[in-house]
Amino acid sequence: MIMKSDGFIRITAAVFRKDTSSELRTRYALNALFLFTLTTLSIILFSFQSATVPVQVHAGLLWVLIFFAAMSGLSRTFITEEDRGTILLLKLSTISTPVFYGKLLFNVLLLLALTAILTILYSLVLPGFAVMSMTSFCISLFLGTVGLASASTIIGALIAKANARGTLYPVLSFPIVLPLLLTVIRATTIAMEDPAWDAAMDEYRVLVSYIVAINAASYLVFEYIWKD
């Protein structure tokens, strides 16, 4: 017996809506992300002042910010369920896969929103930030964010079952996302230097394969995390 596809989508959407409503109401992750953005941008602005910064540094710094923002905010979907005991309620209501995808969707959208805001603020606030190909820039931001959110979600599901989560999350995530980060930093740098929209085509291919690979692995593996 398998779940019908339209039922699956409806339930994934239901999980997504629950998480979204919960977040809008409690604002745990949103607050953490807001404070994080504010603090880090201030620190960076303070340290750079009016110095001109090479393009590669901008790209790298931006993605470091996005990575650490992801580390502050993306584990909450799973951790709150475990800590509050509501995970049992979910286990009595549905199977593993729609729960994972509902939360994945939530994390992807949360991180996309954060990346957009962070990038806009970053570009306004820091001197010497210029983008040659806006299309390329947006594509790399999008792909990098989706990849980062995907990896962060499955690792978040993993650590929700362990102790010492705070330090464990970046420690586990960093080796997993490093290939993604290196590739997307390169793609973003190219987007800032080269006006051709497809100059970073090789990098896009790598990013897309990464997204496919990590999502395929997550799909296969989540069931084992879910089952006790």
Partner 1 sequence: MTDIRITVAGLRKDFNRRPVFSDISFDLSGGRTLAISGRNGSGKSTLLKIIASLLSPSAGAVSLTIDGVEIHRRWTFRHVGMVAPYLHLYEEFTALENLTLIDRIRGSNHTASEYEEMLAMVSLERRRHDVVRTFSSGMKQRLKYALAWMDRPGLLLLDEPRTNLDPEGITTMKTLFKEQRGNGIVIVATNEEDDAVMCDERISLSGVPPPGAPGTGRKGGR
Partner 2 sequence: MKAFQAILGVWLSAVIFCALMFPIVGEITRWYEFPVIPGLEQKARILFFHVPLAWTSVVGFVVSVFYAIRYLRSKQIDDDIKSSSAAGLGLLFCALTTLTGSIWAKFSWGSFWNWDPRETSIFVLLLIYGAYFALRSAVQEDDKKATLAAVYAIIAGVTMPFLMFVMPRIIESLHPDPIINTRGKVSMNSTMLVVFFSSLAGFTALYFWIYSLKLRVARLEFKRSSAGE
Interface ranges with partner 1 (CB under 8 A): 1, 7, 10-11, 14-15, 17-18, 21-22, 25-26, 84-86, 88-95, 98, 227-228
Three-state DSSP state, 152: helix
Residue from 180, 53, 21 nearest 123 by CA: 53
C-alpha 115: how far from chain center: 9
Q: Does 11 bind partner 2 (CB under 8 A)?
A: no
Exactly one of 35, 113, 174, 196 binds partner 2 (CB under 8 A); which one?
174
Tokens of 176: 């997993």
d(CA 85, CA 93): 14
**Nearer CB in complex with partner 1: 15/59:** 15
User: What is the gyration radius of the CA atoms in the chain, in angstroms?
Assistant: 18
Residue type (1 letter), 215: N
The per-residue b/e assignment along 181-211, b for 16 or more CB within 10 angstroms, e otherwise, is: bebbbbbbbbbbbeeebebbeebbebbeebb
Exactly one of 77, 153, 183, 188 binds partner 2 (CB under 8 A); which one?
183
Instruction: Return the residues of window 107-166 that contact partner 2 according to CB under 8 A.
Output: 151, 154-155, 158-159, 161-164
Exactly one of 182, 194, 199, 204 binds partner 2 (CB under 8 A); which one?
182
Q: Does 46 bind partner 2 (CB under 8 A)?
A: no
d(CA 180, CA 177): 5
**Residue 209, binding choice from partner 2, partner 1, none, Cβ under 5 to 8 Å by partner class:** partner 2
**Residue 214, binding choice from partner 1, partner 2, none, Cβ under 5 to 8 Å by partner class:** partner 2
Could you tell me how many residues of this chain bind partner 2 (CB under 8 A)? 37
**Nearer CB in complex with partner 2: 24/164:** 164
Which string of DSSP letters, residue by residue, matches 36-98?
HHHHHHHHHHHHHTT----HHHHHHHHHHHHHHHHHHHTTHHHHHHHHHTTHHHHHTT--HHH
In the complex, minimum distance from the CB of residue 71 to partner 1, in angstroms, rounded to a whole number: 24
**Nearer CB in complex with partner 1: 202/223:** 223
Q: Which residues bind partner 2 (CB under 8 A)?
A: 151, 154-155, 158-159, 161-164, 168, 171-172, 174-180, 182-183, 186, 202-203, 206, 209-210, 213-214, 216-218, 220-221, 224-225, 228
